Amino acid sequence: MKFPGLGLRLPECAWRRGSSWLLLAPLLTPPVPVITAPPCSLCPEGAHRFQWIRNLVPEFGISSSHVKVLSSPAEFYELLKVQIKTAKQRVVMASLYLGTGLLEQELKQKHYLRPLGKPDLGRFLMLECKFHSRVDCLEETLEKSLQAKGSSNLKVSILLDYTRGSRGRKNSRTMLIPLLQRFPEQVRVSLFHTPNLRGLLRLLIPERFNETIGLQHIKVYLFDDNVILSGANLSDLYFTNRQDRYVLLQDSPEIADFFTELVDAIGDVSLQLQRDDTVQMMEGMVHPYQGDKVAYCEIANRRVMEVINSARTRQELLHAKTFHSSQRGSSLLSQQGSQASGGLKTEPDTWIYPLIQMKPFGIQIDEMVTETLLTEAERDARIYLSTGYFNLTQAYMDLILGTRAEYRILLASPEVNGFFGAKGVAGAIPAAYVYIEHQFYSEVCYLHQQERVQLQEYSRAGWTFHAKGLWLYLAGSDLPCLTLIGSPNFGYRSVHRDLEAQVAIVTENKALQQQLHQEQEQLYLCSGVVSSSTFEQPNRYVKLWVKLVTPLIKNFF
């Protein structure tokens, strides 16, 4: 185990069950990690003790009034519709895939494979509405933009995963081709293909399982200068009865620019979808699975790090200008704000830090920041950690078990797991998660940590659970000052295989802290505390073959 910022690696045997080394974790970690910046006179005390994150990524200071926390799939869906319809300059969407279901395929084909009864008809109309809102709404917005000016300034960039987006005869690609055909100069569709799926492995792994090797997993939805950060994909479940998290950052051009550049960078090293449903790489770019793997990963690393470092430099210069101008009694930004709006620009009380994790490219920023947050959380601090798929990395488990803060970990009960009821081998995945959960709970009990580390299972009839993230409450505080929100699940795949992005939102504004607190409470209210009796229930029975196979495959799901 390697401690963040310390450069000390303990032998793995020292972290086995009951080891006394585990109890020394708080003593071995320094009070301030190496990546921490010196005290900054520009930053207030308290919530902004996390200013060390800006040593790794750009820091965007904004007003808390620009942040809105959403609570439901329906609210997320309605917001997407409104934002698409009102976009004027850019639409940027990064997701795992663009969903398509049987009824949507029937709609697209203009015929029906079977008669529709009344229940089916109601669902058909619902899906028809959502289908048009996703794809046709984009088409309508592009068409209006063309009609208004003759030549449109609106650009649409969509980033999806190649393997997931190509699955089946009707898929994300076939949904988007009409846009490429009608608006070839305005629409770009990029399909990321992991460099780790290549050669014989790519030929042998079946279509449904090839995505276990690695994915484009980032979820960012951006419209002009408004950014929606979420863990939700673009499919009907995520608009109706699949619980996730969603945060809107309004009128935030610098943050929107950053994520536009990030999606562009990943898009540049991805396969480009063509109007005839073929794909090709940009000219001069190394192919992800046919070209040299090392060369491809080096290029991808450079492109992504250029985005991060250039944005960080811009923000540091802006930060310095604002500080030195305010020392003279007149902020340059305030002058610009008064000229544009007749008023003064408000001082930021909220800070946004984009955390990127792309281990295939050697980028591990999110992992570093998350481990440091877990390490540095003081005694009596509370961390609420949520994941749709409970499969924490060994490093995260060691830190939770070996540090001082109180933990409330929210995970899916088997019935609300996204794989519940799936056919074939996938149907056993919820049982595998139960087995992993039981092992971790047993470890908590063995170390007598049941009061400090508590597991809670989300359960809601007719729903599935996909919410992920973290809320940090400082010691003595009833409200969180920091949250992590985005695509990572805190598991092996998130850390080692997939492309991930989330943001750390740090705020000292009580109203925004209250929003985050209510979000956390709303999710946890639908949960029950895990105890020994939980695993005695009939629906928690795990077959022997699942127990034997889980250690071998747990790093792939």
How high is the pLDDT of residue 347?
86
349-556 — its CATH code? 3.30.870.10
Tokens found for residue 319: 């930060």
How high is the pLDDT of residue 208?
82
Helix, strand and coil content of the chain, in percent to the nearest 5, comes to 45, 20, 35
Residues in the chain: 557
How high is the pLDDT of residue 323?
62
Specify the DSSP element, H or E, that contains 335. Answer: helix 332-341
Domain boundaries, the chain: 63-106+132-321, 349-556
User: Contact at 8 Å (CB) between 190 and 159?
Assistant: yes
d(CA 220, CA 265): 14
Helices 429-446 and 544-553: crossing angle, nearest 10°?
80
CATH of 63-106+132-321, one of 3.30.2270.10, 3.30.870.10, 3.40.30.10, 3.20.20.20: 3.30.870.10
Same fold, 63-106+132-321 and 349-556: yes
124: phi then psi, degrees, rounded to nearest 5: -60, -45
CA atoms lying within 13 Å on the CB side of residue 192: 34
Provide the 10 A C-beta neighbour count for residue 350.
22
d(CA 97, CA 82): 21
- With b for 16 or more beta-carbon neighbours within 10 A and e for fewer, the 92-119 pattern comes to bbbbbbbbbbebbbbbeeeeeeeeeeee
How high is the pLDDT of residue 419?
77
How high is the pLDDT of residue 158?
98
How high is the pLDDT of residue 299?
98
- Taking only the tens of pLDDT, the chain with its 557 residues reads 444 433 333 334 334 444 433 333 333 333 333 444 433 333 444 457 899 999 999 999 999 999 999 999 999 999 999 999 999 999 999 999 998 743 323 323 333 333 444 444 454 444 444 444 567 788 888 988 888 766 678 999 999 999 999 998 889 999 999 999 999 999 999 999 999 999 999 999 988 889 999 999 999 999 999 999 999 999 989 999 999 999 999 999 999 999 999 999 999 999 999 999 999 999 999 999 999 999 999 999 999 999 999 999 999 998 887 766 655 555 444 444 444 444 455 789 999 999 999 999 999 999 999 999 999 999 999 999 999 999 999 999 999 999 999 999 999 999 998 777 677 777 788 899 999 999 999 999 999 999 999 999 999 999 999 999 999 999 999 999 999 999 999 999 999 999 999 999 999 999 999 999 999 999 999 999 999 999 999 989 999 999 999 988 888 88
Q: Quick check: helix, strand or coil at residue 124? A: helix
How high is the pLDDT of residue 271?
98
Q: What angle do CA 76, 92, 355 make, to 5 degrees?
A: 80
How high is the pLDDT of residue 2?
44
d(CA 345, CA 331): 9
Structure confidence by residue, pLDDT tens digits, 333-383: 444 444 444 445 578 999 999 999 999 999 999 999 999 999 999 999 999
pTM given for the model: 0.85
How high is the pLDDT of residue 30?
37
How high is the pLDDT of residue 356?
98
d(CA 105, CA 128): 10
How high is the pLDDT of residue 149?
63
How high is the pLDDT of residue 128?
43
d(CA 530, CA 202): 40
- With b for 16 or more beta-carbon neighbours within 10 A and e for fewer, the 258-290 pattern comes to bbbbbbbbbbbbbbbbeeeeebebeeebbbbbe
CA 249 to chain centre: 15
How high is the pLDDT of residue 346?
72
Residues that are catalytic: 217, 219, 224
